Amino acid sequence: MDQQPPPSVQTPTPNTAPAQTPVPPPPPGNQPVQPPPPTSPTNSAPMEMPTKNRRKFLIIGIILLIVIAIGAAAYFLFMNKPAPVVKTNKPAVVQSPPTPTPDPTATWETYTNTIEGFSFKYPPGTKKNGEGAISSGKQVLGQSVEMQYNDIDLSVSVQKTLQPVKQGTESATINGVVWSLEYQPKPTNNCQGMGLGPCTSSLQYRSEQNGKLVSFYFTNTSDRQWAEQIVSTFQFVSISHPATPSINQPSASSTAQPVQ
């Protein structure tokens, strides 16, 4: 009898493939069973986001910040915008020309002295008491005229200036000319026969013009407004041929009463 060699026992090598999972027997009915999907080894380490995705989200965030900043700025400007000015059509204002102030001396008469070359106005109803030359010895200094209006006496003189004009207690500017003004009230005691001067009030205006002394002397009045209306009409006139001073006769159609 022939001897059979003993079966050889193969020892698995380390590099052999792992044993496969046994397949369970098919269920009854002879239906094929799908093998279970191969299992993949689980990786517990977190997956890193790709660099392109991070850059994309960064750009989107920057754009959102810019949009928010622009919106905030627009809202701030809108809230601080001044309210619109509503223009209303106002009717044009027609300015009427100023009403001229009436001249209270428009109807007065005019006295003109052609020797010294001056003139002034006086109210109707004024009487001329006299006029003549002002002299010192044989030297003629100027001209004067005496007038009376009701109880008021007026003396007007124009003469050469021999000394500085005596300054009064006050001054008044009339038509751009400065006049020295002095007012003396009526004495309260009995001055007649006592050498105290006239028992009347006096108002005198003096001014140096064209190298001559001009004087308006009023008595029995304290109405400066009326007196200065007469003084305001004084002016120098040109002299063509020296002649006798003339005075216009007062008109009976107009009157002017001073305030006593």
d(CA 19, CA 39): 15
d(CA 180, CA 168): 5
Torsion of CA 51, 53, 56, 58, to 10 degrees: -70
Taking the whole predicted model, whether its pTM rises above 0.75 is answered as no
Token pair in block for residue 184: 């003396």
pLDDT of res. 35: 61
pLDDT of res. 105: 93
Burial string for 226-247 (b: 16+ CB within 10 Å, else e) reads bbbbbbbbbeeeeeeeeeebeb
**Segment-wise mean pLDDT, segments of 10 residues, the chain, 260 residues:** 54 52 57 59 54 82 89 80 72 79 91 94 94 90 95 94 79 92 81 62 92 94 92 90 50 34
Residue-range domains of the chain with CATH: 109-239 (2.60.120.1690)
User: Per DSSP, what are the bridge partners of residue 225?
Assistant: none
What φ, ψ does residue 152 adopt, rounded to 5°?
Answer: -95, 130
pLDDT of res. 242: 54
pLDDT of res. 58: 85
